[in-house]
Homo-oligomer: A and B are copies of this chain.
Amino acid sequence: MRTEYHEKLAQFQQRLGELARLAETAIGQATQALLNGDRELARTVTGGESAIMRLHRLLDTDAVNLLALQQPVASELRTVVAGLRMSADLERMGALARHVAEIVQQHETGPVVPDGVRPTLAAMGEVAGRMAADARKAMAARDATALRRLDRDDDEMDRLEAVVRQDVLAEVPPANLRTAMDLALLARFYERFGDHAVSLAKRVAYLAEHPAQDLTV
């Protein structure tokens, strides 16, 4: 019984890792679609969202069953409760990648990002991809040190969001209000994506560093 329980716990962790990989892939593809105006790739991202939702729901069921079927000991309880939250963070990261892809799809022709804003949005995409990969690796290795790196990238994201606004005011032809609105939202989506990656790293650091007896999460 205990062995079956631990198998289920291992499966839960493995599915969480899969979800992290899906979120990382989604933001990478969304960024590529955005920068290249690639509607086909954007469709791949919006289509892939259902796999993320499915895995997220599966993890919810796993977690509740783990909590119900056998009272977990302290460290396992923390793992399951933290896992529930990580699953929610990863689901949001997938949704934010989809929002980026949706803006690409709404533009029927031409480039989605004006030249003057392109370098900043490319940087946001690069940082988001790095944060997703860092968070995923930290989860797999229970590496508490990743949080510091992710915190730095989070600051960089905040800075870049402000730069997008400056870029828009400096570069976008004044008549193009639609582009200004899209860019404000795009920058926001990337910034929020980064927030969730930091949240993942915080939970990992908590699990890695917390004394086994303390149950406070």
Contact = CB atoms under 8 A, between A and B. Distances in A.
A84 interface: yes
Contacts of A174: 174-175, 177
Interface in A197-217: 215-217
A68 B74 contact: yes
A188 interface: yes
Main secondary structure of the interface of A (DSSP, over half): helix
Nearest to A78: B64
Interface string A26-55: 000000000000000000000000000000
A183 interface: yes
Nearest to A71: B71
Interface in A134-185: 165, 168-169, 172, 174-175, 177-178, 180-185
Interface of A: 60-61, 63-65, 67-68, 71, 74, 77-78, 81, 84-85, 88, 165, 168-169, 172, 174-175, 177-178, 180-185, 188, 215-217
